[in-house]
Amino acid sequence: MALIDSFERLHDNLRISVTDRCNIRCFYCMPEGPIPFLEREEILSFEEIERVATVAVSLGVRKLRITGGEPLVRKDLPVLVERLCRIDGVNDVGLTTNGVLLAQFAEELWAAGLRRLNVHLDTLDAERFTRITRRDDFGRVMAGLDRALELGFDVKINAVAAANLCEPDVVPLALFGRERGVEIRYIEFMPLDAQGLWKKSKVLLQDSIMEMLRKEIGELIEIPDQDPRAPATEYRFADGVGRVGFISSVSRPFCMNCNRLRLTSDGKMRYCLFAIEELDVKEILRSGGSDAELAEVIQETVRRKWIGHEIQSQKFVAPPRPMYSIGG
C-alpha cells in the first residue's frame, strides 16, 4: 500500500538519523556550550533501524538517506550502510556528512555499497570554516572530499547560506565545483538552529546568490525536466561547465512536492523537518510489536502530514528540536 498523504503526495524517501552527536559545532545547527546528548540505549540499534527501513520499503519507500548529527561518529556505520543497501526494493542509498571523518571511512563506505555522498562545506577559507563550525577541521574535510572523489563517489556539496557571512564563499565554491566536477548546493539558512539565532534577514537568498554567480562566472540555465520532488532546483552554467543547486526552503518552499519522511535517532517518525509532533516507533520495536504495528505508525505519520511549513508566515512555529537532533 503506497504512502500517499491527504494532498496526494507520494512518499518514497526516508531520511534516517543515526545519532544526535557531532564532532563540529556549526552555529546554525548546534549550541556552542555543553549539549545533553541522548544516551546510548535511547538510540535505535542497527537492527532496529534496518527493521523500520524494511517496513517502510514494504510500503513503497525506495530511497534512503543516512544523516545525523554526524553519521560518521556512529560506530561501525559502514555495517549499517551495507545492511540498508541490501534491503530488497531500495534503489538509492545516500549519506550526508560533514566530511571530517570521510578520509578515514570512504573506502569502507564504498565497499559497503554506498555511491552517493552529500558533503557539507560552507567555505574554502580555513579561518571562516573555524568561525562557522567552531572547530579547525577544514583540512580534514578537504582530505575527505579528495578521497571520496578519487574513489569515484557521486559527490554533492551542501553549503548553508547565511547573510552577512557567506557572501565571500559563493563564487569560490562554485568555481571549485566547476573544477572538480561537483555540484554545489546552496541551502538557505533555516530556522532550525539550537540557539534561536535565525532571522529572515540572516538568510542569504537564492536570488542574491544567483546574481553573484551570474555576474562573476556566467549565465545560469535551469536544467530541464528535473525530478519535481527533489528538494534542489538545479542550474548549469551557460558555458557547459558545472552545475549548482538551490535548496530554498525560505524563499521558494517546495512543500507541495515533498516525498520525505524522517526517522530520528531516538526512534520517532516525523513528516517534516518543521513538524511539531512526531510518532514513536521505539516502543513498538522494544516491546515485541509487530511489523504491522510499525507500518501503521509510518502510515499514520503520512496521514498527519500538513500542507507545508509556512516559514514565511506569521503562523510559523519553530520545531522544538534543532537540526542536529532531528536529522537534516
Q: Which residues bind ligand SAM (CB under 6 A)?
A: 22, 28-29, 67-68, 70, 96-98, 120, 158, 160, 187, 189-190, 192-193, 323-324, 328
Q: Which does 110 bind (CB under 5 to 8 A by kind): ligand SF4, ligand SAM, none?
A: none
CB of 41 to ligand SAM, least distance (A): 22
Crossing angle of helices 291-303 and 46-58, in 10° steps, is 70
- Binding to ligand SF4 (CB under 6 A) within 107-146 occurs at 120
> What is the CA 109 to chain-centroid distance, rounded?
18
CB pairs under 8 A, 24+ apart, for 286-293?
Answer: 286/48, 291/51, 291/54, 291/55, 291/58
Q: What is the SS3 assignment for 243?
A: strand
Out of 3, 16, 18, 22, point to the residue binding ligand SF4 (CB under 6 A): 22
- How far is 18 from 77, CA to CA, in rounded Å? 9
- 116-120 and 243-247 beta bridge pairing: unpaired
Q: Which does 82 bind (CB under 5 to 8 A by kind): ligand SF4, ligand SAM, none?
A: none
Give which of 14, 12, 81, 17 is closest to 326, Cα–Cα.
17
CB of 291 to ligand SAM, least distance (A): 28
Give which of 166, 83, 66, 76 is closest to 118, Cα–Cα.
66
CB of 306 to ligand SAM, least distance (A): 20
Of 11 and 21, which has the nearer Cβ to ligand SF4? 21
Of 231 and 242, which has the nearer Cβ to ligand SF4? 231
**Counting contacts by CB under 6 A, is residue 326 touching ligand SF4?**
no
Of 27 and 235, which has the nearer Cβ to ligand SF4? 27
The x, y and z cell numbers of residue 187, run together, are 541551502
DSSP letter at 120?
A: E
Question: Which residues are at the interface with ligand SF4 (CB under 6 A)?
Answer: 22, 24-26, 29-30, 68-70, 98, 120, 323-324
